């Protein structure tokens, strides 16, 4: 669930300008919080042998539908600790988990809207992988790993920002 934190982007800009060592420390601590979720998500991605036979790469295929490649799906799962650009409503993310591969995104969300489709039933029978989460935050790989993390990643990111704020304030205290 998204959390609104005011002033975090400005804090990170101030850290880069006045305390680069703290800026690096914040990025490192945020990475420590997000890395376990990305690692668990890579473990939930199925291998090439467990996927549907029609979804595997074909030798003479010219189609545009993405084929499933387990190495590409694993490589596409990761995290970023840099703030994103503002969306249409002016919100930005401080850190994010992502799944870059098209086949990984299809496997992640297959069955969210049509759980009784033939593709989803075949996928569930062959590959398994339970859906976790609710509504738009429901999936088989990344959302599942985030749900099982029980908010520790989010708390870790917020804790890293708060600790950076405290450290920066301690450094900037003026003694008369």
Rounded to 5 degrees, what are φ and ψ at 114? -125, 80
1 domain-assigned: no
167 domain residue, yes or no: yes
Under 8 Å CB-to-CB from 48, ≥6 apart: which residues?
56, 68, 69, 70
User: Has residue 165 been placed in a domain?
Assistant: yes
Answer whether 61's CB lies under 8 Å from 49's CB. Answer: no
Residue 130: predicted pLDDT? 73
Count how many domains the chain has: 1
User: In whole angstroms, how far apart are CA 92 and each of 11, 49, 78, 80?
Assistant: 14, 39, 18, 13
Q: Residue 113: give the domain boundaries.
A: 8-171
* Inside any domain, residue 14: yes
pTM summary value: 0.82
CA distance 78 to 100: 8
Q: Determine, yes or no, domain membership for 3.
A: no
Specify the pLDDT at position 61.
Answer: 59
Closest CA to 125 of 51, 38, 37: 51
How is residue 23 written in tokens? Answer: 């800026």
Do the beta carbons of residue 23 and residue 15 sit within 8 Å? yes
Q: What distance in Å separates the CA atoms of residue 9 and residue 14, rounded to the nearest whole number?
A: 9
pLDDT string in tens for the chain (176-residue length): 567 778 888 888 888 888 888 889 999 999 999 999 999 999 988 888 888 777 776 666 566 778 888 899 999 999 999 888 888 988 888 889 999 998 888 888 888 888 888 888 887 777 776 777 777 777 888 988 998 998 899 999 999 989 988 888 888 775 55
């Amino acid at each position: 669930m998204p959390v609104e934190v005011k002033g975090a982007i400005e804090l990170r800009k101030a850290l880069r300008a006045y305390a680069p060592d703290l800026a690096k420390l914040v990025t490192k601590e945020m990475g420590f919080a997000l890395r376990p979720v990305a690692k668990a998500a890579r473990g939930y991605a199925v291998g090439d042998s467990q996927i549907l036979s029609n979804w595997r790469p074909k030798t003479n295929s010219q189609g545009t539908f993405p084929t499933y490649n387990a190495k590409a799906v694993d490589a596409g799962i990761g995290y970023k600790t840099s703030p994103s650009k503002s969306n249409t409503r002016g919100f930005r993310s401080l850190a994010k988990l992502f799944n870059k591969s098209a086949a990984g995104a299809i496997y992640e969300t297959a069955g969210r809207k049509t759980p009784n489709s033939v593709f989803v039933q075949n996928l569930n029978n062959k590959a398994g992988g339970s859906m976790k989460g609710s509504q738009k935050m429901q999936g088989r790989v990344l959302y599942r790993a985030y749900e099982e993390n029980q908010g520790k990643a989010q708390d870790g990111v917020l804790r890293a920002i708060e600790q950076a704020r405290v450290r920066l304030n301690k450094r900037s205290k003026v003694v008369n």
